[in-house]
Amino acid sequence: MTNISECADFDSPWKEIIEAYFSQAMHLFFPETSALIDWERPYEFLDKEFQQIAREAEQGKRYADQ
């Protein structure tokens, strides 16, 4: 029998949702910080840059968290 954590990826859908609705998530979870952000300015997610420094581990591939 396989362990559920080995075959299920619960993290990726949440990361995609946060990226798609980033400003709304910031308003909901961090309203005071969100009020300080100029949402008219463009922003970019740096997850790809963080993945470049994550190495292969004995447990398998590791992903940088957003």
Quote the pTM value. Answer: 0.58
Q: Which of 22, 24, 28 is nearest to 43 (CA)?
A: 22
pLDDT category, 31, cuts 50, 70, 90? very high
* pLDDT tens by residue, 43-55: 888 776 665 665 5
Tell me the CA distances in angstroms from 9 to 1, 5, 55, 63, one per residue in order: 17, 7, 19, 12
